[in-house]
Chains A and B, each alone.
Chain A
Amino acid sequence: SQQGEEDPQALSIQEGENATMNCSYKTSINNLQWYRQNSGRGLVHLILIRSNEREKHSGRLRVTLDTSKKSSSLLITASRAADTASYFCATVTDSSYKLIFGSGTRLLVRP
C-alpha cells in the first residue's frame, strides 16, 4: 500500500526555474528517500534523509524533512530540460528495508 501522497501530481516549469515537490506520509519512519524515474524506465536513487535529519543537499537538490508534520520536500534548483521525469518519495519504516512509495510528481521542464 502507498505510504502517502505527493503534490503536485504534475508540475510544468520553464528551464532555469526552481521546482518544489512535496511528500506526506502516514507512519513513523527510519528514513525517507527520493527517486527519479524517466518515462518507461527504472528508478534512480537521488537522496536519502534520515529521521533525525532536517535538511540535506546534493548538487542542485535540497531535501527537507519535518517529522512532526510527517512531510518532506524536494527542491530542484535551476532546472534543466533533462530534469523532466517523475519523482517519487519513498519511506523506510523498519529494518526490513522495504520502500513504500508515494504517488509521485510528474515534472516537465520546458526548454
Chain B
Amino acid sequence: GAVVSQHPSWVICKSGTSVKIECRSLDFQATTMFWYRQFPKQSLMLMATSNEGSKATYEQGVEKDKFLINHASLTLSTLTVTSAHPEDSSFYICSATPRQLAKNIQYFGAGTRLSVL
C-alpha cells in the first residue's frame, strides 16, 4: 500500500514551453503533497507544500509564478513549470503524506527528469 505515481518519468521540452507533472496517490488519500527538486548527486530541496483545496506554500527562493502547483483533489497534485528554460532542467520528485496512516512518513513518486533544450 501507500503508492505514489508520478508522470511523466522523463520529459524533454523546448525553451519557453510549459511542462506539467502529475503526482497521484493511488491507494490512499493524501492530506499533503510535497514537491522537491534534486540536482545530480545532490540532496532533495523542498520547493513547496501543497494541501488539498488550498494554495501551496512555497519555500524561500522558489518562484510561485514559475512553478505552479495545483492540489485539486485528495489524490492528485500537479506541478507546472511555466516558460521553462535550460536552468530548470532537473529531477523533480513529489511525495505525499496519507490522511489515514502515519503522517510523519512521506511516500515518494519515482521522479520526473526534465530536460529543457
Contact = CB atoms under 8 A, between A and B. Distances in A.
Whether chain B is bound by chain A comes out as: yes
Interface of A: 1-2, 30-31, 33, 35, 40-45, 48, 88, 92, 96-104, 106
12 contacts: A33-B104, A33-B105, A42-B6, A43-B95, A44-B108, A45-B106, A48-B104, A99-B34, A100-B46, A101-B43, A104-B42, A106-B41
Nearest to A102: B43
A103 B104 contact: no
Interface size range of chain B in the complex = 20 to 34
Contacts, number: 60
Contact of B111 (A30, A41, A100): A41
Interface of B: 4, 6, 32, 34, 41-46, 49, 60, 91, 93, 95, 97, 103-111, 113
A95 B81 CA distance: 28
Q: Which of A42, A43, A45, A92 has the most CB of B within 10 A?
A: A42
B43 A104 contact: yes
A31 B111 CA distance: 25
Contacts of B45: 1-2, 101
A33 B6 CA distance: 22
Given A42-B111, A43-B93, A97 B103 contact: yes
